[in-house]
């Protein structure tokens, strides 16, 4: 008898029929003798509907109230899923974040889990009951409802799997697994059978959108095997696991892209200590996640600093940057809204030399200008004009992954 | 500076515009120097939408999960109302039942409030912040979410007003106040300026639908003045208050009717001690509220027992009654779905003799057959064929209240 956590995303619980399918799938797991904790997202579209109401009232709604508002989406699904399970003869009970209890910090809208207390879930499982947990939500030290950011239900699921010592965390979604690239752009992209936590981390943070990045961090830290698979069929998906020796045989596991980026440059920044902190301090306090930062070599005591932020945070970031530019005597701020980041990822890069150079060659051959570059041990990312995104991804896929394997369905 | 609780019902928060109006009204109270606790219902239609989802999955959904589900309706409104207040410059914060905390028993779907802890609300008010509380919901000793039954937000509001020692509890609704009868049936019905708790209790329990009956019980017990008024205009509504001497001057304050009734009769019930308990015990345990009970004088050791239940509970009640009938050797069960209860209410009945007799005369003059009768100190109720409801109400209004006063708008 195994204990598994099964997480169902928005499209997997999109309507009453889909919720019934979830119940049948959970019932089948249980019939095989597994103990199951189910984690659910809001029904597809519900979070946006709720945010739409909030924004109709307040253009920049208070984060605390937004969280109390949108957390209802998962509460609804959890109750409906519990009802659907009961309806197929499976004892089930729903739990909200504060009932579990999943404690987070107070960073409303993108809170981090600080503690998970699974005693009540364990009692529930021991009684032969399936626990259905509302994903995406927690409660802070003040007792206020928090949410974990887009995709936060993945993190809820992995955190629960870790705390419960579950055998696996299954992430049910509307795709068949993790692909070598986005199948909508690269028709020859193929499903990976296994991928390491580190590769998945890079892919998740680079916009692959399959798993929330924090969920992968949690899975890596607590050694939780994560199985990303489709809720629409019975196929095996992709296992996200510890790094294995065979993974080093290929240099690049996947090509990721993120078109949701904006680029800002502070011109002629006086080059002395503390300037970077004066710029990025206020941006961090505004909870804006800066992705890439490039600072040119200083000439004549002044330098240009360029950085990227999620496009949704562009207005706020631009206002903050302009304030800082005035304060520190920079010449001004320029920005570009239509940029994209394209990345190649693979643990094999550690042992295969010249991967970055080959990437730049491939892009140059397509006459794509590289605006920014960052690298890590297992990835190379470049920022390019957004209109070349598809071209770049296809060219890189052809070069590094090729046409081997089955095509994406 | 007064402390007031203002409760806004479903039609008063039906959409974003209405929620903005609520914020403006609360802001105006606050500008007059009042401290305000706002209690909100779900947006009109939302509770039914959620119950519809539940019933699409489970024809008789589990009460616990239903409560967790429908409680989201008020949670959404509370967050939106807090945002709307912030938007007009009023510091505001939403609270859920378990955050306040409003503790109830575990009668899911129709829970009773057992304790209200207002410490956090008082801290919030002391900080100059408006507290917006999700009505209709509480939390039981197990930490599970409960709801207080239809109209439960009224009770939330009055319970909070009592616990806070508020000067008044204002119930904002889509009618101008409490009327001498239903203006849709009796165009000449007029708004009452003041009505006693006892009269309101009878009217509420008799289907006047303006206030949940438990809210009036709370108000009476804790001497909370309740002001029922429209959220669509600035007019004074009806004050529900302690009985006053002038109230005795009129014999009948109002005519109520309740068309949502079903009648069941157990035929030839063996007439010996304990039979009533065997019948009404199971019905009470099924949480069905029996309204009227009539037992005829026993002849030849057997008697007929007739009782009424809310029409929605008819199927369950009928099944239970048939089971009991077989057990105790009654001849069978007959029932009638289309009955209505019509009542006259007034504290003046205590001092005016012959009110009941005059009521029966009025109905007889319209050839309306009376099927059942119950009386209390301040009311007389009759059960009649539902098709005569309007006729009976109009005739009784003409006879007891007449055309005095202004017509209903």
Chain A residues near residue B22 by CB distance under 8 angstroms: none
Phi, psi of B229, deg, nearest 5: -150, 170
What is the distance in angstroms between the Cα of B56 and the nearest Cα belonging to chain A?
7
**Contact at CB, A65 and B83, closer than 8 angstroms:** yes
**Contact at CB, A143 and B99, closer than 8 angstroms:** yes
Chain B residues near residue A144 by CB distance under 8 angstroms: 99
**Contact at CB, B80 and A57, closer than 8 angstroms:** yes
Residues B288, B313 contacting (CB under 8 angstroms)? yes
What is the distance in angstroms between the Cα of B55 and the nearest Cα belonging to chain A?
9
b/e sequence A267-282, b meaning 16+ C-beta within 10 Å: ebbebeeebeeebbeb
What ranges in B264-374 are assigned the alpha helix state H? Answer: 275-285, 314-328, 355-365
**Contact at CB, A68 and B78, closer than 8 angstroms:** yes
**Which residues lie across from A102 on neighbouring strands?**
A116
Q: Name which of A76, A83, A144 is nearest B62 (Cβ-Cβ).
A: A83
Query: In this complex, how many residue pairs, one in chain A and one in chain B, have their CB atoms less than 8 Å apart?
Result: 101
pLDDT tens for A346-356 read 998 888 878 88
Q: Does B145 touch chain A (CB under 8 A)?
A: yes
Residues B139, B98 contacting (CB under 8 angstroms)? yes
**Which residues lie across from B309 on neighbouring strands?**
B262
Q: Which helix (H) or strand (E) holds B79?
A: helix B63-87
d(Cα A157, Cα B106) in Å, to the nearest integer?
A: 29
**Contact at CB, A76 and B53, closer than 8 angstroms:** yes
Stretch A386-407: mean pLDDT = 83
**Contact at CB, B65 and A86, closer than 8 angstroms:** yes
Q: Does A129 touch chain B (CB under 8 A)?
A: no
Q: Which of the four pLDDT bands, split at 50, 70 and 90, describes residue A342?
A: very high
Q: Does B352 touch chain A (CB under 8 A)?
A: no
pLDDT surpassing 70 at residue A259: yes
pLDDT surpassing 70 at residue A103: yes
Q: Does A72 touch chain B (CB under 8 A)?
A: yes
Phi, psi of A285, deg, nearest 5: -65, -25
pLDDT per residue as tens, chain B (409 positions):
799 999 999 999 999 999 999 999 999 999 999 999 999 999 999 999 999 999 999 999 999 999 999 999 999 999 999 999 999 999 999 999 999 999 999 999 999 999 999 999 999 999 999 999 999 999 999 999 999 998 899 999 999 999 999 999 999 999 899 999 988 899 999 999 999 999 998 887 777 778 888 999 999 999 999 999 999 999 999 999 999 888 888 889 999 999 889 999 998 888 777 777 888 888 888 888 888 888 766 667 788 888 999 998 999 999 999 999 999 888 999 999 999 999 999 998 888 878 888 899 999 999 998 888 888 888 899 999 999 999 999 999 999 998 654 443 3
Chain A residues near residue B100 by CB distance under 8 angstroms: none
Q: Which chain A residue lies closest to B43 (C-alpha atoms)? A: A53
Q: Name which of A62, A76, A143 is nearest B83 (Cβ-Cβ).
A: A62
pLDDT tens for B184-243 read 899 999 999 999 999 998 887 777 778 888 999 999 999 999 999 999 999 999 999 999
Per-residue confidence (pLDDT) for residue B318, from 0 to 100: 95
Q: What is the CATH number of domain B3-174?
A: 3.40.1160.10
Neighbours of B389 (CB within 10 A): 21
What is the distance in angstroms between the Cα of B95 and the nearest Cα belonging to chain A?
9
Q: Name which of A64, A99, A144 is nearest B143 (Cβ-Cβ).
A: A99
A22, A65, A90, best to mutate vs chain B, most B CBs in 10 Å: A65
pLDDT surpassing 70 at residue A246: yes
pLDDT tens for A321-331 read 999 999 988 89
Q: Does A82 touch chain B (CB under 8 A)?
A: yes
b/e sequence B50-85, b meaning 16+ C-beta within 10 Å: beebbebbbeebbbbbbbbbbbbbbbbbbbbbbbbb
> Global pTM?
0.82
Q: Which of the four pLDDT bands, split at 50, 70 and 90, describes residue A405?
A: very low
Per-residue confidence (pLDDT) for residue B162, from 0 to 100: 97
Q: Does A87 touch chain B (CB under 8 A)?
A: yes
Q: Which helix (H) or strand (E) holds A337?
A: strand A332-345
SS3 A292: coil
Share of chain A above pLDDT 70, in %: 97
Q: Name which of A61, A68, A75 is nearest B68 (Cβ-Cβ).
A: A75
Per-residue confidence (pLDDT) for residue A407, from 0 to 100: 40
pLDDT tens for A84-97 read 999 999 999 999 99
Q: Name which of B69, B76, B145 is nearest A50 (Cβ-Cβ).
A: B76
d(Cα B388, Cα A14) in Å, to the nearest integer?
A: 47
**Contact at CB, A62 and B82, closer than 8 angstroms:** yes
> Helices A46-57 and B16-31 sit at what angle, rounded to 10 degrees?
40
The tokens for B253 are 């304050």
Q: Does B53 touch chain A (CB under 8 A)?
A: yes
B45, B63, B69, best to mutate vs chain A, most A CBs in 10 Å: B69
Q: Does B101 touch chain A (CB under 8 A)?
A: no
Q: Which chain A residue lies closest to B19 (C-alpha atoms)? A: A57
pLDDT surpassing 60 at residue A267: yes
pLDDT surpassing 60 at residue A409: no
A18, A68, A136, A141, best to mutate vs chain B, most B CBs in 10 Å: A68
Higher per-residue confidence, A403 vs B199: B199
Query: What is the number of H-type helices and E-type strands within chain B?
Result: 12, 18
d(Cα B27, Cα A16) in Å, to the nearest integer?
A: 41
Q: Which of A23-27, A175-179, A379-383 has the highest mean pLDDT?
A: A23-27
Assign residue A75 a region: left if phi > 0, alpha if psi is -120 to 50, beta otherwise?
A: alpha
Q: What residues contact residue B65 under an 8 Å CB cut-off, 6+ apart? A: A79, A80, A82, A83, A86, A93, A94, B54
Q: What residues contact residue B181 under an 8 Å CB cut-off, 6+ apart? A: B189, B254, B255, B256, B257, B393, B396, B397, B401
Per-residue confidence (pLDDT) for residue A298, from 0 to 100: 63
What is the distance in angstroms between the Cα of B115 and the nearest Cα belonging to chain A?
19
Q: Does A391 touch chain B (CB under 8 A)?
A: no
Q: What residues contact residue B128 under an 8 Å CB cut-off, 6+ apart? A: B91
Q: Which helix (H) or strand (E) holds B264?
A: strand B254-270
Q: What residues contact residue A95 under an 8 Å CB cut-off, 6+ apart? A: A78, A120, A121, A124, A131, A132, A133, A134
Phi, psi of B353, deg, nearest 5: -85, 160
In this structure, of A63-72, A356-365, B4-13, the range with the lowest mean pLDDT score is A356-365
What is the distance in angstroms between the Cα of B240 and the nearest Cα belonging to chain A?
34
Q: Which chain B residue lies closest to A79 (C-alpha atoms)? A: B65
SS3 A269: strand
What is the distance in angstroms between the Cα of B129 and the nearest Cα belonging to chain A?
14
Chain B residues near residue A78 by CB distance under 8 angstroms: 68
Q: Which helix (H) or strand (E) holds A356?
A: helix A355-365
Q: Which chain A residue lies closest to B51 (C-alpha atoms)? A: A80
Q: Does A97 touch chain B (CB under 8 A)?
A: no
Residue B382: name the closest of B390, B391, B373 by CA.
Answer: B373
Asked casually if ipTM beats, i.e. exceeds, 0.90, the reply is no
Q: Which chain B residue lies closest to A18 (C-alpha atoms)? A: B57
- Give residues 15 to 34 of B whose Cβ lies within 8 Å of A: 16, 19-20
Per-residue confidence (pLDDT) for residue B260, from 0 to 100: 86
d(Cα B402, Cα B409) in Å, to the nearest integer?
A: 17
Residue B215: name the closest of B404, B41, B331, B32 by CA.
Answer: B41
Residues A168, A401 contacting (CB under 8 angstroms)? no
């Amino acid at each position: 008898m195994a204990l598994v956590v099964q997480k169902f995303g928005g499209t997997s619980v999109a309507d009453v029929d889909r919720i019934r399918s979830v119940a049948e799938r959970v019932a089948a797991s249980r019939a095989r003798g597994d103990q199951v904790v189910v984690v659910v997202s809001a029904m597809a579209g519900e979070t946006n509907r709720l945010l739409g109401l909030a924004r109709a009232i307040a253009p920049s709604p208070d984060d605390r109230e937004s969280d109390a508002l949108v957390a209802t989406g998962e509460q609804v699904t959890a109750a409906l899923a519990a009802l659907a399970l009961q309806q197929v003869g499976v004892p089930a009970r729903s739990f909200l974040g504060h009932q579990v209890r999943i404690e987070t910090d107070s960073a409303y809208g993108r809170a981090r889990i600080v503690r998970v207390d699974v005693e009540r879930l364990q009692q529930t499982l021991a009684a032969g009951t399936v626990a259905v947990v509302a994903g995406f939500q927690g409660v802070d030290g003040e007792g206020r409802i928090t949410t974990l950011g887009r995709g936060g239900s993945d993190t809820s699921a992995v955190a629960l799997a870790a705390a419960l010592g579950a055998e696996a965390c299954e992430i049910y979604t509307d795709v068949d697994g993790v692909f070598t690239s986005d199948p909508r752009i690269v028709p020859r992209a193929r499903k990976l059978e296994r991928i390491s936590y580190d590769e998945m981390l890079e892919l998740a943070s680079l916009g692959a959108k399959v798993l929330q990045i924090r969920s992968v961090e949690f899975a890596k830290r607590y050694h939780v095997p994560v199985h990303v698979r489709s809720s629409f069929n019975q196929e095996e998906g992709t296992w996200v696991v510890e790094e294995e020796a065979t993974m080093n045989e290929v240099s690049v596991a996947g090509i990721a892209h993120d078109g949701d980026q904006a680029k800002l440059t502070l011109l002629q920044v006086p080059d002395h200590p503390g300037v970077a902190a004066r710029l990025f301090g206020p941006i961090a306090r505004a909870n804006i996640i800066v992705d890439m930062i490039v600072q040119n070599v200083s000439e004549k005591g002044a330098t240009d600093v360029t950085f990227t932020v999620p496009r949704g945070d562009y207005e706020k970031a631009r206002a903050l940057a302009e304030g800082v530019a005035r304060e520190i005597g920079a010449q001004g701020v320029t920005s570009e809204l239509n940029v994209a980041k394209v990345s190649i990822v693979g643990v094999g890069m550690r042992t295969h030399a010249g991967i970055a150079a080959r990437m730049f060659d491939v892009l140059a051959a397509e006459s794509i200008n590289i605006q920014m570059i960052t690298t890590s041990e297992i990835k190379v990312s470049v920022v390019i004009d957004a209109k070349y995104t598809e071209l770049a991804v296809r060219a890189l896929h052809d070069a590094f992954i090729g046409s081997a394997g089955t095509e994406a369905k």
